[in-house]
Amino acid sequence: MSLRDKIRVMVVDDMSTSLGLITQALDNFGVRHVSTAGNGADALQLLGRQPAHLIISDYNMPNMDGLMLLHHLRSAAKTKEVGFILITGRAEQQIVDQGKKMGMNNFLQKPFEPIDLRKCIETIVGPL
């Protein structure tokens, strides 16, 4: 069984268009276990019921942004090792630096191509 058949990925974004583009790309890569959440708070609740190996999160969301979600993930024993990719249209150096200090594994700037997403994922989990 290949990695893409086993890995569980959660996509967190408040924009349905972005969610759709990312989940479609994951499906095209052959990733079968994908869940979604509309913001960081919902993601944390869902993770309590459905653990994930990798979180792909937007930065700018209501209720809890991507970096706040990352902080919560790294602060909890059950989720501190979960892979984390931050996707943002605002790839300001301050945001990227803060994410790295908090344990972000990788980031991707919007807009992006599916091949860029795949490379970003594979630097964390290995070849899909």
Q: Which CATH number does the domain 3-123 belong to among 3.20.80.10, 3.40.50.2300, 3.40.630.30, 3.40.50.280?
A: 3.40.50.2300
CA distance to 73, 91, 94, per residue, from 40 (Å): 10, 19, 20
What is the model's pLDDT at position 4?
A: 86
What is the model's pLDDT at position 20?
A: 95
* CA–CA separation, 128 and 121 (whole Å): 9
pLDDT tens profile 11-64: 999 999 999 999 999 999 999 999 999 999 999 999 999 999 999 999 999 989
Residue ranges per structural domain of the chain:
3-123
* CA–CA separation, 85 and 121 (whole Å): 8
* CA–CA separation, 101 and 122 (whole Å): 21
What is the model's pLDDT at position 98?
A: 95
Report phi then psi at 103, rounded to 5: 105, 15
Instruction: Work out the mean pLDDT of the chain and round it to a whole number.
Output: 94
